[in-house]
Chain A
Amino acid sequence: MYIGMDVGGTHTDCVLVGDGRILASAKVQTFHDDLVRSVRTGLESVLVGRDPGMVRRFNLSTTLTVNALVTETAEPVGMLVSAGPGIDPEAYRIGEHFFCIPGSIDHQGAEIAPLDIPFLKERLAECRSRGVTSFAVVSKFSIRNPEHEQRMALRIEGESERVTMGHTLSGSFNFPRRIATAYYNAAVQNLFVGFLGAVRSAMEEMGVVAELNILKGDGGTCGMQQAEAVPVQSVFSGPAASVMGALSLLCPDRDGVVVDIGGTTTDIALLVGGTPLLERHGISLLGRPTLVRALRVHSLALGGDSEVRIEDGGIRVGPDRLGPCLAAGGPVPTLMDALNVLGLCSYGEVAASRHGLEIPARELKCGVEHLARLVVDRAVQTIARAVREEIQACNETPVYTIHELLAETALDPEQMVCIGGPASGLAGELGKVLDLAPVVPEHFAVANAVGAAMTGTTMEVELFADTVRRRLHVPALGVVRTIAASYDLKRGREEAVQYLHEEMAGQGVDLLPHEIQILQADSFTMVEGFSSVGRNIRVRCQRKPGVARVVNA
């Protein structure tokens, strides 16, 4: 049996899955001051009358990281940065303890200026005098040469302090994103490690001996060790879990759209060949772009609780939410009330919906049904336009080869999954407008928890080889090695996949061939004077985000 749980902003959703069927589900309140209590309550609810020892896997999605950062309850971080020529790193100042250390590495990984160790020591002493015990170290081009980050980290470790090194977070370029990512990671690490410990204790007390995995923003999971080292990966795992839930209930294998219509917002995600699209470089957190892999989810301020208003003789739906719908005792009519009136939904007190919409209907001098129809049409049109714009935006993503530019690979969804409270009422209408046959899964209310339960471990590996310098790097794994001058792209591909296999095996996953996706495999001839001197090889591969199928039970 598997358990999936999404500790969300208001509710904690939990499901128990066995033999590919949903055996139990629960929706309990989230206690922000005591997330472990929410976890415990969720577990208890789905395990009523069952043997907790039979649970093999517990996949947990939590808003802990984001909450700590938003409420500024995260820890102070000593942020040490070395940059060299280029944009002034002061532009990326973050937190109270940000210091630039002289030292520089170029785009080939060559050291241009050595790290100023005495200066570094002074800044560290300053941090410690301010009581800082969490550190993040980032140097420009550290994915090409991690030495400066490693040297900075060496000065910190050993004093019961934690340090995050930028190059271990991602093998992708982007110094400012690396700074923000490392900073946020260091800020939440102690908190996250403590939380995981508390969850483990709670599980033990309850007799749940399952392996614990943490949901990531890319829709996959990671094991405890990874989660403790890189807790920042857990941000925005909630929306990702919902998308994965839609997949696990359906298993689509073609291009598609997932529309998650909630109370306040509607989230739109796109699938290419059944695999959800990721943010190109990483998600933004508190307004700062990061290198955290995450599903690309476009959020629209429109949902079941969106206020319906008459403005200048016309109808407005959203973007405000003033409370729940009238049918649930709310203060103003909402989209959900309109769906109730039309009989597309029957949520709460349907009569209250009808009664409440009579006032604006009189104002517009039309019948209640007519008004409700206008409201629903407006909402459907708004969502449809957002879906079309998102598809267009994805098709506008820059590419760097003639082959990719000319290849007919435009995203063209053939199917649509709608989840969320008002989905059953809106899906049919939305499908008509977008000319897609909508699917509304039965368990949409806990799709997020189902997604959490059924998703697998994901990982990306980047490999760089430079046969002129005879060096091979796999930044995220800390691999730096000498290679032969004859090293080629074929070897690079094989090795990248091999590293992925090993890493996944380390997390207890047996990687299957169809789960591997080569994201990039390039070999550039390097020329000096007018003759070829070697090759610059770049390979990126990942285990695709994916889910096991669940039967609607």
Chain B
Amino acid sequence: MLRAENSLGVVFFPAFDWAISPTHPEREERLLYTLDQFLEEGVFDIPGITEYKPEVAGYDDIERVHFCFPGADRVCTESHLISAGGAIRIARLVMEGREQRGFALVRPPGHHAMKCVHGTRGFCTVNIEAVMVEWIREHYGPKRVAVVDTDCHHGDGSQDVFWHDPDTLYISLHQDGRTLYPGTGFPREAGGPRARGRNLNIPLPPNTSDEGMLMVMERVVMPILRDFKPDLIVNSAGQDNHYSDPITNMNFSASGYARLNEMLKPDIAVLEGGYAIQGALPYVNLGITLAMAGMDYSRVREPDFDPDRFRQSAKTSKYIAGLCDVLPGIYFEPEQNGEEIRENGFFARERDIFYDTDSISEHQVEKLRDCPNCRGYLWVQSGSSRNSLSLGVEIPVGACPSCVREARDRAEEAKHKGTFQSIRMIDRVNGEYGEFCP
């Protein structure tokens, strides 16, 4: 008889009544055929695999991670609260020990949502993995977390949210940013001054196949994970590296994705992108689910899959082998100099960010307090075509008393001056999230 080797909780929430627009890739139909496949395969009847309902995340859960301008209730719809709530439900099941591992098959996705949120970019509004990770830390204390993002697009949102966090290792495998949205995700983007080497980008050339991806897993990702020794491994399980995906140029297969999961052994996987809804998603999701449950996935294959057709060229293999030689150094021997400028006791950087889905342009100046005793508080001044100049202040977990005091004093002063349209506070020491009330 069939049986899951390790217990697996699955939140399956296809949101059959939500779309960005009727023909947008992120539409009602997206997980329909995956659900058909799961039901036909009897996945939820397999002893050890259990289906759960998502919970609905609170605005607090969102604003523990994001500066939402002008407020979480203005940028999130119910769909985002449920999608994030689905990830939280899975985390709760795993952390309570009710399930050994979990897979949140939810939509909409989240890995392009950055620290500041003025609207939706890359189909994402809130970063559901980050919301989940910080929910875990809020309820279960400090945890070392590795987030491995296997979506075809660089997870620029996750990179941004975790940029200054030395306790989160973020690794993104994606199609080279020179050939695909969002155009970022290069190895030199290696993490903030207090978390250097904790952000690792692995840009893969177009037409990379299973072989290349698995080589990178074996030679780059796994050795780094063994060294980092995370308490929790999260897979941002995007599926648009698939050979049939309509908006990318990679050649991964369902069995490749399953093998990747078998190697990675994530505690939690959260669905990200993937828009070949008929030809890929039903098979990729099935492969990932079986692999996560420790079951045989060798017979899961796309009806039209022909490994010879999708074999990568020798040139591609050589290029990827070259990446495997140099990329581990970013984690093991990080460079101390980054793009930020050191000024008046702060690390500062200035950026323009474009929200393709909502056509919003954002300009921000981000400053991290250069503190000898803690990670330092974060001070972000951000204005966009939707909101005039606003302020976000984050006091991180473990901030020293002087950073807490200084950040709050300065925020209060800013509030009196009335310079900002709104001030959002993430105070992890005092547990205050959202609109700043001194």
Contacts and interface: CB of A to CB of B under 8 A. Distances in A.
Nearest to A523: B28
A526 B22 CA distance: 9
B79 A532 contact: no
Most buried by A among B36, B52, B296: B36
B42 A177 contact: yes
Nearest to B286: A86
A496 to B, nearest CB: 18
B388 interface: no
A372 to B, nearest CB: 38
Interface centre among B1, B2, B23 (most CB of A within 10 A): B23
A508 interface: no
A53 B51 CA distance: 53
Contact of A400 (B16, B302, B303): B16
Contact of B16 (A84, A86, A174, A522): A522
A400 B14 contact: yes
Given A526-B29, A530-B23, 8 more contacts: A86-B37, A400-B15, A402-B18, A524-B28, A525-B27, A529-B246, A536-B29, A536-B32
Interface residues of A, number: 42
B45 A289 contact: yes
Interface in B277-315: 278, 282-283, 286, 290, 296, 299-303
B13 interface: yes
Given A402-B82, A406-B56, A525-B29, A84 B17 contact: no
Which of A87, A174, A177 is the most central at the interface, judged by chain B CB atoms within 10 Å of its CB? Answer: A87
A401 interface: yes
A553 interface: no
Interface stretch (A127-135, A391-399, A511-519): A391-399
A401 B16 contact: yes
B17 A402 contact: yes
A175 B42 CA distance: 7
Band of interface residues on B? 35 or more
B52 A398 contact: yes
Contact of A85 (B45, B52, B278, B301): B301
B420 interface: no
23 contacts: A84-B303, A86-B41, A87-B299, A88-B296, A88-B299, A91-B1, A91-B2, A106-B303, A107-B36, A107-B282, A172-B39, A398-B13, A400-B12, A400-B15, A400-B16, A402-B18, A406-B56, A524-B32, A525-B27, A525-B29, A527-B29, A529-B246, A532-B23
Interface in B13-67: 13-18, 22-23, 27-29, 32-33, 35-37, 39-42, 45, 51-54, 56
Contact of A525 (B17, B23, B35, B54): B23
Contacts of B32: 524, 536
A406 B23 contact: no
A107 B280 CA distance: 12
A189 to B, nearest CB: 24
A107 B40 contact: yes
Interface in A491-543: 522, 524-527, 529-532, 536
Contacts of B15: 400-402
B352 interface: no
Contacts of A84: 303
B292 to A, nearest CB: 14
Contacts of B29: 524-527, 536
Given A405-B54, A536-B29, A87 B23 contact: no
Contacts of A104: 303
A98 interface: no
A334 B117 CA distance: 65
B73 interface: no
B78 interface: yes
Interface string B120-157: 00000000000000000000000000000000000000
Contacts of A107: 33, 36-37, 40, 278, 282
A489 to B, nearest CB: 13
Contacts of A92: 2
A527 B27 contact: yes
Contact of B45 (A177, A399, A405, A525): A177
Interface string A378-419: 000000000000000000111111110110000000000000
A107 B278 CA distance: 8
Contacts of B52: 396, 398
Nearest to B296: A88
B51 A398 contact: yes
Interface string A145-182: 00000000000000000000000000011111100000
Contacts of A140: 40
Contact of A401 (B1, B17, B39, B302): B17
A111 to B, nearest CB: 10
B141 to A, nearest CB: 28
Contact of B56 (A85, A141, A400, A405): A405
